[in-house]
Amino acid sequence: MAEIEIDGGPADPARLAALGLLNYGHFTTLRAEAGRTRGLALHLDRLVRDCRTVFGAELDRSEVRTRIRRVLPADGAPVIVRVTVFDPALGLERPAAPATPHLLVTTRPAPAAAPGPLRVRTTAYRRELPEVKHVGLFGLLHQRRLAQLDGYDDALLLDEAGRLAEGATWNLALHDGRELVWPDAAALPGVTAALLARAHPGPQRREPVAADGLGRFVAAVAVNAGVGVRPIAAIDGTSFDPAHPAVAKLRAAYEALPREDI
């Protein structure tokens, strides 16, 4: 069953309305199972860093861990946990007022099975403040909707120079048959991407990747905390083999990473 709390107590309608109406805050999302998760320290680092950027305030890491533990299922079932940092006292007129961050912590059941390969369409779009995982998701969801209406599963964002940046809610990794390649463009520094980069046993590099230069790659994957490593079957008109050995190796490297106690 899904859980929702604010600062460890019931999520009262007034404070939820404040978040919904102002839509100013930031978050992180992680997958937890049996009280453990991958990359906990990186998720906490993100929340602390983004809180300074968004609110000019400090965040207590130990409090975040406590709030997450409160909402985890007693039976250890896998869930997706989202920690949203916001201040219900801020208003439209003075978002620069001194902020007191509050923690909205929610869960939803984790997917029971790995989702299938993605078919994605590129689109010229840049998130506001791409280095922050903020709650301004309208533009991303609109691009995802447009891609789905056009017969694709999701959108892959391009920067102003036409270079691959990031998916709507995931990071992109490509493999040229010899090395793992991370697109070098303004994008969210994803926790799962960072973990996979650490775990990958082979050579890797960052470089700009043009949308019209995908033919040299043999495999592509989308990575985020919810699904881990997900193969991409096609980007626009370029197809990739979802069953390529490089995909299996990336997935195995990620799944071998140890989980930390929350």
Tell me the whole-structure pTM to 2 decimals.
Answer: 0.95
Helix intervals (H) in the chain: 13-22, 40-55, 61-71, 138-149, 191-199, 245-255
Name the fold adopted by 4-109.
D-amino Acid Aminotransferase; Chain A, domain 1 (3.30.470)
Q: CATH homologous superfamily for 118-257?
A: D-amino Acid Aminotransferase, subunit A, domain 2 (3.20.10.10)
CA atoms within 13 A on the CB side of 7: 10
Give the relative orientation of helices 191-199 and 40-55 as an angle to the nearest 10 degrees: 140
Q: Tens of pLDDT along 34-51?
A: 999 999 999 999 999 999
Distance, in Å, from the CA atom of 44 to the CA atom of 64, rounded to the nearest integer, reads: 8
Domain ranges in the chain are 4-109, 118-257
Q: Is the pLDDT of residue 56 over 80?
A: yes
Instruction: Count the Cβ atoms, other than its own, within 10 Å of residue 62.
Output: 8
pLDDT, one tens digit per residue, over 230-240 is 999 999 999 99
pLDDT digits (tens, 9 = 90+) for 149-180: 999 999 999 999 999 999 999 999 999 999 99
pLDDT in tens, 95-129: 999 999 999 999 999 987 788 999 999 999 999 99
